[in-house]
């Protein structure tokens, strides 16, 4: 049943409930009082019908306005979801680019470190030790970790003793644990 057909059925039910059945019956021939009531009743029934029709029209307008608002909200929600997906994709692309950049920088730093390591290894032990003594302690200890035993033995005479002792202590602390 369509909305218009449904509205018509509701309208007829309301008319019948409001006394429309009496209005549709033939008038009694007995009294003129009844005919006076019938004259006022059709007028009030007509007014009721107009009021009901006006109310139905208002409800239909409100329903149309609500449907339009619902469509607008659905459109905005779809637009918002689309924008969120775009932002997530952009964020993912940015993270990927950033990770690639960090990886390249780490590789470049490692290549520079290895270049300096090879350069120091190629130097005479006295010169390499002087340079290592001027480096930050973690960097110098990291270099000592990379050298083979033979090179460390050559450098040991020339490296500052506190730095060498710290490197030896670190190796001794990790050594027994590795053996167990």
**pLDDT for 178:** 47
- Evaluate whether 128 touches 155 at the Cβ level (below 8 Å): yes
**pLDDT for 29:** 46
CA-CA distance, 167 to 180, in Å (whole number)?
A: 21
Which portions of the chain are predicted below pLDDT 70?
1-43, 175-180
**pLDDT for 13:** 60
**pLDDT for 179:** 45
Instruction: For 48-80, give one letter per residue: b (16+ CB within 10 A) or e.
Output: eeeebeeeeeeeeeeeeeeeeeeeeeeeeeeee
Domain boundaries, the chain: 69-108, 123-180
**pLDDT for 143:** 86
**pLDDT for 3:** 57
**């490296």: which residue's tokens?**
159
**pLDDT for 165:** 86
Residue 111 falls in which region: left (phi positive, over 0), alpha (psi -120 to 50) or beta: alpha
CA-CA distance, 38 to 21, in Å (whole number)?
A: 12
Q: Calculate the CA 125 to chain-centre distance.
A: 58
**pLDDT for 6:** 61
């Amino acid at each position: 049943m369509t909305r218009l057909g449904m509205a018509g059925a509701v309208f007829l039910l309301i008319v019948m409930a409001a006394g429309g059945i009496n209005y549709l019956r033939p008038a009694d021939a007995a009294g003129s009082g009844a005919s006076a009531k019938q004259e006022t009743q059709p007028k009030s029934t007509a007014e009721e019908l107009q009021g009901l029709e006006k109310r139905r029209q208002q409800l239909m307008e409100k329903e149309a306005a609500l449907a339009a608002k619902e469509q607008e909200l659905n459109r905005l929600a779809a637009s918002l979801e689309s924008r969120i997906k775009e932002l997530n994709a952009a964020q993912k692309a940015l993270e990927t680019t950033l990770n690639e950049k960090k990886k390249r920088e780490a590789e470049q730093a490692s290549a520079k470190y290895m270049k300096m390591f090879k350069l120091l290894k190629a130097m005479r032990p006295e010169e390499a030790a002087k340079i290592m003594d001027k480096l930050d302690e973690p960097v110098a200890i990291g270099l000592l970790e990379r050298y083979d035993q033979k090179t460390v033995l050559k450098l040991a005479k020339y490296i500052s003793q506190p730095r060498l002792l710290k490197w030896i202590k670190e190796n001794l602390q990790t050594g027994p644990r590795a053996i167990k």
